[in-house]
Amino acid sequence: MGRVLSALIAITIASAPAVVAGAYVVAPAVTTAASDSGAKTVTANLTTTQQAATTTTASIATTATIATASLATTGNGAPNGSHYNLNIIGVPKDKTADMNNNDGHRIFVQLYGGSSTGDIIGKNFADISKVNTILLAPAPVGGSFQVLDANATDKNGAVFQLPADVSTSWTVWARALGKPGGKADMTTCATVTVIDPLTGVTTQEVVCSLATLKLERTKNAKFQNVTSYLLTLTLSAADATLAGCTSTTVSLFDPCLQNYFWNYDNQGLKLLQLRFYPMSGVGG
């Protein structure tokens, strides 16, 4: 009798699951059709949390599959939540149609065109080329994002309206798409009022942020947070003092500067996707 009891105890211990660092080491699952289909049915009716807590081999395998699928489809790098889309599209030929008050979510720029910041800094704003320039306008009270002029391929440049508090209430994310190898430099600029002490003539002298957003189309491009590049200007101490700004980091539409714009120096980038997210609504 004692031998039989000892044998039963040994069998019970051998069949019990072992615990290793909080994880279950489970004996191979029974391979009968009935038990396999039953495990699948139960697993399908459980939430992901419940599946994670289940200690059968079938549930562990299912949970692992769900986790892998989730990681593979979490996407393009952009946050979750409602947002405003803006596409900046590089085109080989200039647009001629009237695109004022078009209110589409896109702006056209020359595929190869625009000025480098070195060519416009210190110049009178009235004298610089506006090709591939996106002029930025503060929205009226109650207003929001809106493309007022979608054509940046002409001499007048495009016009894009943003909320007046965009720098403190929104984030912007960017992704370069199109033919691999396309590049563009995007810099936030503005003007400072300068009075010539000899002639008394007033000009709007261009100043640009020291931080330029370098864009390049690469494989499997992901959205990146570019808020600091597109919603603020980083000025030199001299430019900040000249403009009477209280800081070298200046938000869009700060009254110490005028004529805010994005300078888009394009070297073959066909599509830039921008997404604007309210800070209160960004998830993840």
Between 51 and 70, name the one with better pLDDT. 51
d(CA 7, CA 4): 5
Most confident listed range (32-46, 67-81, 96-110, 203-217)? 203-217
- DSSP 8-state class, residue 64: H
Lowest-confidence pick of 13-22, 61-70, 225-234: 61-70
On average, the pLDDT of the chain sits at 78
Count CB-CB contacts under 10 A for residue 204: 18
Rounded to the nearest 10°, the torsion over CA 253, 115, 277, 108 is 120
Rounded to the nearest 10°, the torsion over CA 165, 183, 154, 142 is -20
Domain ranges across the chain: 23-74, 84-281
**Once rounded to an integer, what is the mean pLDDT over residues 53-80?**
40
Above pLDDT 90, what percent of the chain?
Answer: 64
pLDDT digits (tens, 9 = 90+) for 153-203: 999 999 999 999 999 999 999 999 998 889 999 999 999 999 999 999 999
Tokens of 58: 């079938």
List residues bridging with 274 in a β-sheet: 86, 174
pLDDT at 11: 37
Q: Which residues contact 156 (CB under 8 A, 6 or more apart)?
A: 130, 149
